[in-house]
Amino acid sequence: MITFDDVVKVYPGGGTAVDHVSLELPTGKTTVFVGPSGCGKTTSLRMINRMISPTSGRVLIDGKDVAGQDEALLRRGIGYVIQHAGLFPHRTVLDNVATVPVLLGKTRREARDTAMQVLERVGLAPEFAQRYPAQLSGGQQQRVGVARALAADPPIMLMDEPFSAVDPVVREQLHREFLRLQSELGKTIAMVTHDIDEAIKLGDEVVIFRQGGIVAQVGTPQELLANPADEFVAEFVGRDRGLRSLSFDTAAEMPVRPLPAELVVDEAGRPLGWKSSDGMKPTGGSFTSGDTLRLVADLAILSPVGIAVRVDANGVADGIAPHHDLADYLAARRG
């Protein structure tokens, strides 16, 4: 567990970057610091591995004050991922990843063996090992950055805007891989982002900072979307937070109606489209009971007849959900 105990950072120029912050980052979970620029989120993150020292207050890892620890040794035990990856351009991908094991005293050979395994873990083919960072795409560089942080298998990872320098498609892909890796590894992660959607998607806990280094609210993504503490948080999490909060519930308990005659299915029972006077209209997709309510709402809105189609695991249609049923279900759930 990482603990911020009444931490303050004041810069010599007079600006307060972090203002009496007390927080607990639970072990094995992802905690995301999010807020507008200049809100102290990066400063807070960098105080965990002593890249910045607090003016007052303490940062503790498992109850031990980081201030009393050897800087270099502390940092070797904490994975560090930054925006644009910050790879060493003069070293191959493999040697970049082997950096921390070498610092920890492994032989170059052992370190490279470990690095090879970690590269595989983050989804990079072995042929990338001997390339140099300048020969990789932004997304590949970012994977190498994550691999370098993971190489010594540290219990804690600090990630400063790790996905903000890549295009949306690659970011989406890296998000999925991040969630997969984290479900396998269960690291204690502190991540900084300015993107609230990223925070909601990746965070188990989200800490919203406001200007002046003040913590506005701490909670799970669901809590922040459902009960923003004040105007600032409500504004920050966005206008469509009601719709987005549907992402946290599955359609498992939502009732469906039996298939109507207007739904055309093939011999196997898979939905093909809706009958209409001027030929067949497409269904626009289908959902399973494991999908989110947000997808159901999306399908109902997109469907030419205002009805979402449910299928089972084999893709066989087994029910429909008109948009007014979804509205009734949500209303009943709230009441």
Partner 1 sequence: MNLSYLFDAAHWDLNASGSIPQLLLSHLWYVFLALAIGTVIALPIGLYIGHTGRGSFIAINAGNAGRSLPTLGLLMLMVTLLGLGLLPVLIALTVLVIPPILTSAYAGLRSLDQRVVDAARGVGMRPWQVLTRVELPMALPVLMSGFRSAALQVVATATVAAAVGLGGLGRLLIDGLAVNDYSRVLAGAIVVAVLAVLLDLILALAQRWIISPGLRASR
- Contact set with partner 1 (CB under 8 A): 49, 51, 71-77, 80, 82-92, 99-100, 103, 132-137, 148-149, 158
Q: Residue 129's CB: how many other CB atoms inside 10 A?
A: 20
The nearer residue to partner 1, 72 or 169, going by C-beta atoms, is: 72
The nearer residue to partner 1, 86 or 322, going by C-beta atoms, is: 86
The nearer residue to partner 1, 140 or 286, going by C-beta atoms, is: 140
d(CA 39, CA 35): 6
End-to-end CA, the chain: 37
d(CA 186, CA 30): 9
- State the nearest-atom distance from the C-beta of 310 to partner 1, in Å: 46
- State the nearest-atom distance from the C-beta of 89 to partner 1, in Å: 5
Q: Residue 97 to residues 27, 122, 126, 181: CA-CA distances in angstroms? A: 25, 11, 13, 17
Residue the block writes with tokens 């911020």: 4
For the chain, the helix, strand and coil percentages under 3-state DSSP, each to the nearest 5: 40, 25, 35
- State the nearest-atom distance from the C-beta of 83 to partner 1, in Å: 7
- State the nearest-atom distance from the C-beta of 139 to partner 1, in Å: 13
Do residues 156 and 38 lie in contact, with contact meaning Cβ atoms separated by under 8 Å? no
The nearer residue to partner 1, 144 or 320, going by C-beta atoms, is: 144
What count of residues does the chain have? Answer: 335
Strand partners, 275: 280
The nearer residue to partner 1, 76 or 201, going by C-beta atoms, is: 76
Does residue 67 come out as left (phi exceeding 0), alpha (psi in the -120 to 50 range) or beta?
A: alpha
- State the nearest-atom distance from the C-beta of 46 to partner 1, in Å: 8
- State the nearest-atom distance from the C-beta of 167 to partner 1, in Å: 15
The nearer residue to partner 1, 132 or 329, going by C-beta atoms, is: 132
Strand partners, 160: 82, 192
